[in-house]
Structure 1
Amino acid sequence: MPVIVQTVLLLILSNLFMTFAWYAHLKDQGGKPLLLAVLASWGIAFFEYLIQVPANRIGFTELSLGQLKILQEIIALAVFVPFAVLYMKQTLSLNYLWAACCLAGAAYFIFKK
């Protein structure tokens, strides 16, 4: 499997974990003690790191550090938007589209030879 495909798939999976670690407690544990939310988030984030670190190591064999970072941000937004709309029941706005356009521009420049 090509390095870029491995990297993208692992980053998508790691971002699913991290998005839940960062934001799911806002919906699920709003009335619970902060320490409980922190510990639950750390527990979820542990699995994210088990995927994120290999993704970056694999990706860095063919991508620059800047390319890895922009790729990560694009994937983070691509994972976050469905999470926000479907899980957190947030309203989708045009601002998500404008943010995606900015990231597309960033991707163009960082991957341009």
Structure 2
Amino acid sequence: MPSLAERILPVILLLGSNVFMTFAWYGHLKYKSAPIFTVIIASWGIAFFEYMLQVPANRWGSAVYSAPQLKGMQEVITLVVFAVFSASYLGQSLKWNHWAGFALIAVAAWLIFLE
């Protein structure tokens, strides 16, 4: 039986990696006047730190979770991180239909964990 730490560490690492990923993918939207090449290079630099957390999260997490479970978990974490980022950093609050769509994705992820 996996310990609590073995179950939680991948979740924490995926949470951290998704913070970096969200900034790499969407952070530049606040700086639309920046040259695209500069934005691409900056995003790659940020993504490096995402991978430094995401790869161990999946490697270590695979001892406890299946690959589909890790992916489902990652999707829900991504949505939560993105919702906070969108509202707080970009100033774009989510509307009811965004929340409804995210909820359906969360239900899909939940189904992956049923045995």
Per the shorter chain, which TM-score range?
A: over 0.9
How far the C-alpha of 1:4 sits from its partner, in A, is 2.1
Aligned to 1:26: 29
Which runs of no fewer than 5 residues in structure 1 stay unpaired? Answer: none
Residues 1-113 of structure 1 mapped to structure 2, 5 A cutoff: 1-28=4-31, 30-113=32-115
Aligned length in residues: 112
How far, CA to CA, are the matches of 1:73 and 1:106 in structure 2?
A: 10
Runs of 4+ that moved beyond 3 A:
none
Q: TM-score, normalised by structure 2?
A: 0.92
How far the C-alpha of 1:11 sits from its partner, in A, is 0.4
Tell me the amino acid that sits aligned with residue 110 of structure 1. I
How far the C-alpha of 1:18 sits from its partner, in A, is 0.5
How far, CA to CA, are the matches of 2:71 and 2:105 in structure 1?
A: 11
Deviations 1:79-113 (A, max 9, x none): 00010001000022112321232123112211001
Identity %: 47
How far, CA to CA, are the matches of 1:100 and 1:31 in structure 2?
A: 30
Tell me the amino acid that sits aligned with residue 107 of structure 2. G
